[in-house]
């Protein structure tokens, strides 16, 4: 019961903090400096656009640094900016407030990453699912869509090529610079993919336990299994049956690490780890950055090191 109460309190506190932050945050007015004015919905899309656009693009994010992007509330200035930006880059189905604002403002130039990222159903451990486990004999619900495609570098590369095309269409005179930057980014992503492939193929442990099931693409790409304390939605409250199932999985598979995240409360994971006498480590779904000195690339490298330790890779 204490575990459940801690989860509720942490979720409510996190939601209140994000709402307060967003209420005070707005896109700054941009002067006409000749650069493309681009809005990105959240960090991975912002990262790709900044990398490709370079000095020719001014980009703002609809999700403030350090905020969890799933349930943001847009300030009025954000909503207005959606209607006036040269290009809006978002992912439909991931942020309801952004979907609604785009529908309301109907921007002339908009790119939806969800259309081109090959989104797939996710693995969800819902309370109803666990209530039916004994009868059905299967704890898998593949109905919810996993939005975290960017954790597979090869999928992010496809979206990078699309964003390059979008920027070149809006600013053809700088198309060659955009292409040059895109080529560099694709090389970085290919190297990242190679490192993950080589470093994770020797792991003794092929199953990980995570705070929420954000790592489906990563697991599928590099041939391991994720088991979440919650499903794809990080604010879903874990049921007693779900917690019991996770504990049984940890014991059965001799798992020695529970992975938690940076933008959601780690208390449930830490309490569970303490109860079971296992370690905890950060595994970041990269929905946003806490440290402005980090980038998608550096966090992915840190994730790889965490996985190598937690999965006992040689």
Q: Is the pLDDT of residue 146 over 60?
A: yes
| DSSP codes joined into one string, the chain | -HHHHHHHHHHHHHHHHHHHHHHT--PPPPP--SSEEEEESSHHHHHHHHHHHGGGEEEEESS-TT--STT----HHHHHHHHH-SEEEE-TTT-HHHHHHHHHH--SSEEEHHHHTT-EE--B--HHHHHTHHHHS---B--SEE--GGGSHHHHHHHHHHHHHHHHHH-GGGHHHHHHHHHHHHHHHHHHHHHHHHHHTT-S--EEEEEES--HHHHHHTT-EEEEEE-SSTTSPPPHHHHHHHHHHHHHTT--EEEE-SSS--HHHHHHHHHHT-EEEE----SS-SSTT--HHHHHHHHHHHHHHHTT--
CATH 3.40.50.1980 in the chain: give the residue spans: 23-119+149-193, 199-310
State the burial class of residue 2 (Cβ atoms within 10 Å of its Cβ: 0-12, 13-18, 19+): exposed
Q: Specify the pLDDT at position 122.
A: 64
Structure tokens at 202: 């020797």
Give residue 25's pLDDT band: very low, low, confident or very high (50, 70, 90).
very low
Lowest mean pLDDT among 27-36, 77-86, 255-264: 27-36
Q: Is the pLDDT of residue 130 over 50?
A: no
Cα end-to-end distance, the chain, whole Å = 39
Antiparallel, parallel or unpaired: β 257-260 and 279-282? parallel
Write down the mean pLDDT value for the chain.
Answer: 85
Give residue 265's pLDDT band: very low, low, confident or very high (50, 70, 90).
confident
pLDDT over 70 for what percent of the chain?
A: 82
Average pLDDT over residues 127-146: 44
Contacts of 254 (CB under 8 A, 6+ apart): 205
- Higher-confidence residue of 119 and 49: namely 49
Under a CB-based contact definition with an 8 Å cutoff, are residues 90 and 110 in contact?
yes
Lowest mean pLDDT among 105-109, 133-137, 194-198: 133-137
Under a CB-based contact definition with an 8 Å cutoff, are residues 101 and 80 in contact?
no
Give residue 46's pLDDT band: very low, low, confident or very high (50, 70, 90).
very high
Q: Specify the pLDDT at position 32.
A: 59
Q: State pLDDT tens for residues 239-256.
A: 999 999 999 999 999 999
In words, the CATH class of domain 199-310 is alpha beta
Phi, psi at 282, each rounded to 5° = -80, 130
CA 18 to chain centre: 16
Q: Specify the pLDDT at position 71.
A: 80
CATH of domain 23-119+149-193: 3.40.50.1980
């Amino acid at each position: 019961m204490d575990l459940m109460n801690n989860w509720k309190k942490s979720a409510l506190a996190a939601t209140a903090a994000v709402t307060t932050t967003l209420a005070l945050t707005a896109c700054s007015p941009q002067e006409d400096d000749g650069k493309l004015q681009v809005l990105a919905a959240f960090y991975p899309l912002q990262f790709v656009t900044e990398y490709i656009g370079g000095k020719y693009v001014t980009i703002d994010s609809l999700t403030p640094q350090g905020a969890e992007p799933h349930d943001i509330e847009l300030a009025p200035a954000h909503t207005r900016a959606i209607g006036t930006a040269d290009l809006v880059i978002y992912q439909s189905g991931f942020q309801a407030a952004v979907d609604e604002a785009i529908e309301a403002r109907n921007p002339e130039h908009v790119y939806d990453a969800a259309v081109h990222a090959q989104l797939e159903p996710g693995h969800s451990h819902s309370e109803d699912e666990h209530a039916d486990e004994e009868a059905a004999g299967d704890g898998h619900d593949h109905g919810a869509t996993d939005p975290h495609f960017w954790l597979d570098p090869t999928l992010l590369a496809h979206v990078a090529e699309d964003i390059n095309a979008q920027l070149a269409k809006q600013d053809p005179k700088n198309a060659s610079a955009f292409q040059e930057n895109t080529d560099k980014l694709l090389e970085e992503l290919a190297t990242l993919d190679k490192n993950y492939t080589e470093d994770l193929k020797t792991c003794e442990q092929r199953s990980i336990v995570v705070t929420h099931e954000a790592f489906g693409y990563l697991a599928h790409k590099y041939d391991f299994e994720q088991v979440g304390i919650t499903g794809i939605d990080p604010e879903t409250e874990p049921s007693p049956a779900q917690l019991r199932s996770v504990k049984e999985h940890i014991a059965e598979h001799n798992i020695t690490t529970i992975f938690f995240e940076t933008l959601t409360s780690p208390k449930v994971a830490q309490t569970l780890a303490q109860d079971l006498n296992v370690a905890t480590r950060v595994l970041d779904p990269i929905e946003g950055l806490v440290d402005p000195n980090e980038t998608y690339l550096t966090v992915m490298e840190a994730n790889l090191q965490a996985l190598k330790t937690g999965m006992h890779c040689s």
